[in-house]
Amino acid sequence: MRIVLLAIYLLLVISVIFLEHKKPVEAVMWVVILICLPYAGAVLYLVFGNTVSIRLTGWLRRTRCGRRFRQKALRLIESPEPELPAGLSMNDEAVVRFNTTYNASPLTSYETSEFLTSGASHYVRLFEDIAAAKQSVYLEFYTIHHDEVGLRLVDALAQKAREGVCVWVMCDYIANLSTPSAMFRPLVEAGGMVKRLKPFLTHFRSHRKIVVIDQQTAYIGGMNIGRQYANGARKKNPWRDTQLRLTGACVSALTRYFLTDWVCALSARELGRCRDTLLATPPPAACPAGRPCQMIVGGVEDSSDSIKMCYLSMIRAARKRIRIQSPYFVPDSSILDALKTAAASGVAIELMIPGIQASFFLDPVTRYYCAQLMEYGAAVYKYRGYIHAKTMIIDSEILCVGSVNMDIRSLEVSDEICGLFYDDAIVREYSEIFDLDIESCNRYSLRAFHARPWFEKVKERFFLLFAPLM
């Protein structure tokens, strides 16, 4: 038995070193974990670190989705590639071309935009749009909590389903284990459909937030469904988040991304039930002249770290200022080095994180990486409350809003979405919101970091070992 276990361990070590193509630091970390934690290390590696099986699973999911789309003749095709609109700066154009080429994300446009910076304002607007729906309501959230907000949503959706509106709802399987299936029963009995997207082990978690109503109005951002997003949490108050309501051609792209997830989540019987609705879905509209934007997805559809590479393209395009909001800051070495390089080159970097503890193990690591940036002159702000917004502003030219946390899992292995907006007006509007947020922050300093107690230093060094898993 010991010989068998030893052979298995040797195979795992060989896999880490020769088959996984991991970065040297990450490979060393896994070898140390396997050696120091004989049994638990193997479990941790198989669950979190085995990229061969992860890549294989991703390929199988992508192949299955592609086959289903072809078999059902769904007209979910890419928008015709338009000419770049006039007025884009050289930096904007570089980012647009990169995401068009590398991430296969065509340029599209939006007509109207509305920032919703609190759960209360988000839910008021969302429920108004749901009540006005005539044809379809598509929702994809990471979590739908079993509380008064979740119940209200189910009631609103059930009413629309009874009126003959097509109602499809998706959420992440693991994040909603505490949400009973019975909560969705009124919606299902009314004719709606609910799917919980199952990940591969801990990878390919469905972290996207997409709402599409009548294929005319859409929402993206950081908010889920639950009382905590409307300051109903016991500890994380005030809660500050960002959701963006959009109209225009970009809604077609968001519809396509939702339906891609939806088709992949269905059983063969469920797919047949949805076939007529899917066939009736119009292809994405061509991009009219107007306010340019791109919708970028990362996760199972793409094996090239599309979100991370998109972020790198934006950071490298910056010439004056980078402003970031994120509940966590656990970047990989490429993102961190890009930000350090930008700061050393004279780009002003402002990072906003929560002042309230987000996670027992993530907070010490976040502070460590914040200190890394502060060494290069970056300004770090702690919001007096809990900031859950996931945004980035590049100079006064590009705004990024979506579901992406500034951590390794969001950037590389979770199913995420973000919108890039290249219109000066929307960038200026959110810059003003960022300025107001700073007034509700305390400046974090290197002196405060170095004055942290010894047990925080111990916790920090321990959890840093697991940063690639966060």
Residue 296 has a pLDDT of 92
CATH number for the 112-247+250-285 domain, one of 3.30.870.10, 3.40.50.300, 3.30.450.30, 3.40.50.970? 3.30.870.10
Contact 307, 404 (CB under 8 A): yes
Bridge partners, 387 (sequence order): 240
Tell me which residue of 288, 342, 286 sits closest to 316, measured CA to CA. 342
What pLDDT score was predicted for residue 153? 97
Which whole-number Å values give the CA distances from 421 to 101, 383, 453, in the listed order? 17, 25, 42
- Say yes or no: do domains 112-247+250-285 and 297-469 share a fold: yes
**Residue 78: predicted pLDDT:** 45
Q: What does the DSSP 8-state code read for residue 143?
A: -
Please state, as a whole number, how many other Cβ atoms lie within 10 Å of the Cβ of residue 281: 16
| Cα–Cα distance measured from residue 287 to residue 84, given in angstroms and rounded to the nearest whole number | 10
Number of neighbouring beta carbons within 10 Å of residue 446: 12
- CA gap 308, 400 in Å, rounded: 13
Residue-by-residue pLDDT tens, the chain, 470 positions: 566 556 665 666 666 555 555 565 566 666 666 666 666 666 666 655 555 555 555 555 555 555 555 444 344 434 445 556 666 777 778 888 888 888 778 889 999 999 999 999 999 999 999 999 999 999 999 999 999 999 999 999 999 999 999 999 999 888 888 889 999 999 999 999 999 887 655 566 788 999 999 999 999 999 999 999 988 777 788 999 999 999 999 998 899 889 888 887 877 788 778 877 777 776 655 555 668 999 998 875 555 588 999 999 999 999 999 999 999 999 988 999 999 999 999 999 999 999 987 777 788 889 999 999 999 999 999 999 999 999 999 998 999 999 999 988 788 778 899 999 999 999 999 999 999 999 999 999 889 888 888 888 778 777 776 665 55
pLDDT of residue 430: 97
Q: Domains of the chain: which residue ranges?
A: 2-49, 112-247+250-285, 297-469
Handedness of CA 198, 51, 460, 375 (dihedral sign): negative
Its pTM stands at 0.85
Alpha carbon 154 to chain centroid, angstroms: 24
- Element holding 368 (H helix, E strand): helix 362-374
pLDDT at 231 (0 to 100): 82
Mutual orientation of helices 268-279 and 250-265 as an angle, nearest 10°?
160
Q: What is the pLDDT, as a whole number, of residue 38?
A: 67
pLDDT given for residue 73 in this prediction: 35
The predicted structure's pLDDT at residue 294: 93
| Helix residue ranges, H only, 190-279 | 250-265, 268-279
The C-alpha torsion from 429 through 434 and 438 to 440, rounded to 10°, is: 80
Pick the CATH number of 297-469 from 3.30.870.10, 3.20.20.20, 1.10.150.80, 3.90.70.10: 3.30.870.10
Cis preceding linkage at 238, omega within 30: yes
Written as six digits, the tokens of 54 are 């992860």
In sequence order, the 6+-apart residues with CB closer than 8 A to the CB of 387 are 240, 241, 325, 327, 352, 353, 354, 437
- Rounded to the nearest 10 degrees, what angle do helices 333-344 and 362-374 cross at? 30
Nearest one of 375, 364, 318 to 470, comparing CA atoms: 364
Residues near 462 by Cβ (< 8 Å), separated by ≥ 6? Answer: none
3-class SS of residue 265 = helix
